[in-house]
Structure 1
Amino acid sequence: MAKSKQQDAWEFFGELLKERREAAGLTQSELGRRVFVSGAYIGLFEQGIRKPQLDVAIRIDEVLQTGGIFERTWRRLIDKSPYASYFSEVAELEGVATKICEFAPLVVPGLMQTAEYARAVTLATHPFAAEDFIEEKVTARIDRAAILSGTTRPEYWVVLHENSVLTPVGGPSVMAATLDRITTLARERQALVTILPRSVGAHAHMTGTLKLMEFEDQPPTAYTETGFSGTLLDDPAVVKQAQRAYDLLRVATLSPEASLTLIESAAEDYRRCASTT
C-alpha cells in the first residue's frame, strides 16, 4: 500500500525521536519507563507505525528536554488530518490491520458508507459547516474504504444492529444504495456481515461503536466511540474484554445468509418508498 504524506510525516517524527533519544543516551526501554509506555511502543513510534497520544508526546519532551518540539509536531500533524483528533490514529491503523471487526449499533460503519450516506451523517453532526469542510470529511471517509479492495485487504467482520439498517439516514434512495453496497461487499467476500436483531434486547456492548484490529507485527487494539469522542485501547487485559464482548455479540446474530436476506429486503422496501415520493 502506498504511503500517504501523513505517514511520511509520522515517520519523520519517529526518526527525530530516535535521534533525540540516542543523543540523550537512553534505550527504548529506558525512555518507555520514563513516559509510562513500553519500550516496544517507543520502537513502534520510531518506525512511524504507531502515533503517541498527546500526553505521551508532552512527556517525551520533558524527559528528553526538547523544548516542546514533539508536542508542537504532534499538534501540527493532527491539525493536518481530515479526521477528529481521537480518530486520526485509528484511520492510520486500519491501513495496516490484517483483521478488523466492527459493531455498529445505529449508523452504518464508515468503511461501508456511500458518499451520499457519509454526507448525510456529516451534515447531521455539522449543520452549520462550510461546504469545503463537508466535502473534506466525506472524501476522507470514502478514501478509507479503499483498504477493502486492495491486494492486502484485511479480513473484515461486521456486526450491524438491526437499527442501523432500519434508520433512514439520508432518505430512502440513499439507504437503498448504501444497503446495496453492504450486500455487494458481502457477496464479493470483502466483508462478513451479520445482523444483531432488535428482538435480542440488551446485548454485550451497549455504549457505542466497537472496532477491534489485529496486525502482523504489533499487539491488537480496540477502539470505542460515542457521539462526541473515541478511545483507542491497547492494554492487553482491556482488549481481551472487548474481544469477549464482540464474541458475545456474534453468537446473538442472525446467520450471514439470513442477515443478507434481511438487508436486501430492507433495500427493496427503501426503493419502493423512494419511487412513491
Structure 2
Amino acid sequence: MRATRTGRPEARLAGAVCLLALGALLAGCTGGGAAQPETAATAPATTPTPAPTRDPFPSEPLTATTRYIAIGDSYAAGMGGGEEQGACRLSANGYPAQFARRSGVDLVVNAACAGATTTDLLAHQLLALDDRTDLVTLSVGGNDLGVAAIATDCAARRAEACRNEVTGALSLLNVLPDRLDDVYAAVAKAAPNARIVVTGYALMWDAADPSAPDFQTSAAMNAATIGLNEVIRQAVDKQRAAGVAMTYVEPDFAGHAINDPVPWLHHSGPYAFHPTARGYAEYTKRLLKLLGTAS
C-alpha cells in the first residue's frame, strides 16, 4: 500500500465548504485592503486566448446496443428503492435500472454492492468492465468516510454520537482524493472506450430553523455531504482535464429532503439516509438530461 498524502488542496477546499455549510463566519478571506482601479501603468498585459480543446466527454447518441455497466456502493445498487435482492441490496428501482429502462440502453450488469468502499470496488468490481463497455455510472466514496456509523447514530437521534461520527468523516476527506484518483484511473483503464458518469450524494436536509431539535445534526450531515461531493467533483475534474471521458452529476432533492413533507430519502430503519424509488428517479432524470435516450 502506498503512503497516503494529506493536506491536498481539494481536501482543504472541501473543509472550507463544510464550514460554510455550518454557518461559520470566515473573516479575512480576501486579504488586506480594497482592490485598486487599474491604470494604464498597472493594467495587466493581454495574453492570447488559448485555442479550444476537444471535450473529452463526447456527446454521442445512445442506442439499444449501448453496453452500460453500473458500479459502486449502495447508492449505485439502489438500496432503499424497494424490493432489494441479495447481499448487495440491488433494486430494480435504483437509478441504473431506471435509467436503462427509460433510456433504452443495454444494462449488461449492475456490479455495485452496498457497503462498497474504494478498495472494494478496485478489488471486486473492475472485472465487470472491458473495452466493449460504452457507458459506466459510478457512485463511491461515502463508505470510506464511515457513513454506516453516521446513519446508525443519526437515525437513532443520538446527537452527540452523530456529530462525532460526522466530525470523523470530515477528517477523512483529506485521504479521499488519492483514493478517488486511483479508482477513476483504474475504471478508465478497464473501460478505455467508455464514457464514465460519476454521481454525487443527495443533500439530506433542507435549511431548517436553527432552534429546531435536529438542527445541529442536520447541519453537520449536510456539511459532510457537501464536502464529500466537492472532493468527488474535483477528482472528476482532474481526470477530465487529463483527457478522460468522465463527468460528474449531482442530484437535486430540494423540497424533498428528510424534513420536507414529501421526502425522497429514508429517515429511519435499515435504509436510513438512502433514497426512495422516487429519489432514484431524480438521479435517472439527471442522467437522461446528460445522455438522452436511445435513438
Q: TM-score, length-normalised on structure 1? A: 0.28
More helix by share: 1
